[in-house]
Amino acid sequence: MTVPQHSTPTPAGWYPDPSGSGQLRWWDGTAWTGTAWNPPQAAAGQAGTGQAGTGQPGASSPAAAWPGQFAGPARPAPRPEISRQTPVYNPFIWLVTLLPVVTLIILMIWNPVFHLRYVGARRVPTLDPSAFGVPYFLLIVSAWLIYGVSVLLSYLDWQKLQRDGVVRPFHWAWAFLGAGVYVVGRSVIVHKVAPQRGLAPVWALIVLTALSLILVSVKASMIISTIAKALPM
């Protein structure tokens, strides 16, 4: 049976499996996916009611798989759990989590020595800008590069989760608000579909954040002390 030329595309959602397995299968708006879900018995009983409609698309569409029942976009169903053999970690998420270490290392090797320069006829004391050398600019550039790379890696991780069968994984675009936002959100969703797994990146992020706060505090106190020594008494 051909699909009417001006038919409205069926929205993404859960629909009865067209193969007749009795499960609900996820329709992504264009094609059936490999993700299936066992509905409660009450929902399964309701799925069999209704009369077949006319003018519906063929068996390749969810409307034909559930005749007479579709009345609008399906409400999001609980995410089905993935197999215990399915990996929940990959190199992309670990790089997103640990890339800030690069900036931290550059910060630690930056040891500025501040000197005063006297400018103008009135001999106004100012800090010598030569203290802001190569490590300082590496620190600034690396921070922006890591931000961009983290967004790209978040997108690749999001794609990998979809291929592994995770339904509606945490969207990669949240990484624009910061890598930590994506790491936490991603881990929460993965933990829901893979109980007792998926939270390792969050723990790594917590440890890295605590370590960063300590090292940055120490470094800031050292820089302030150096500036204080350079100022005239």
Residue 172 pLDDT level (bands cut at 50, 70, 90):
very high
pLDDT: which is higher, 10 or 98: 98
In this structure, are residues 185 and 202 in contact, taking their beta carbons and an 8 Å threshold? no
5-19, 30-44, 212-226: which range is least confident on average?
30-44
Write the pLDDT tens digit of every residue in 100-119. Answer: 999 999 888 888 777 777 77
More confident residue, 110 or 48: 110
At residue 159, the pLDDT reads 96
pLDDT tens sequence across 90-99: 999 999 999 9
Asked if 65 and 18 touch (Cβ cutoff 8 Å), the reply is yes
Burial class (CB in 10 A: 0-12, 13-18, 19+), 70: buried
Task: Write the pLDDT tens digit of every residue in 124-137.
Answer: 777 777 777 777 88
Lowest mean pLDDT of 5-9, 41-45, 149-153, name the range: 41-45
3-class secondary structure for the chain? CCCCCCCCCCCCEEEECCCCCCCEEEECCCCEEEEEECCCHHHHHHHCCCCCCCCCCCCCCHHHHCCCCCCCCCCCCCCCCCCCCCCCCCHHHHHHHHCHHHHHHHHHHCCCCCCEEEECCCCEEEECHHHCCHHHHHHHHHHHHHHHHHHHHHHHHHHHHHHCCCCCCCCHHHHHHCHHHHHHHHHHHHHHHCCCCCCHHHHHHHHHHHHHHHHHHHHHHHHHHHHHHHCCC
Residue 1, pLDDT > 60, answer: no
Mean pLDDT of the chain: 80
Q: At residue 122, does pLDDT exceed 80?
A: no
- Per the model's pLDDT, the better-predicted residue between 14 and 56 turns out to be 14
| Domain assignments of the chain as residue spans, ordered by start | 1-78, 91-230
Average pLDDT over residues 128-156: 88
Kindly state the average pLDDT of the residues 24-43. 72
- How wide is the angle at C-alpha 12 spanned by C-alphas 10 and 13, nearest 5°? 110
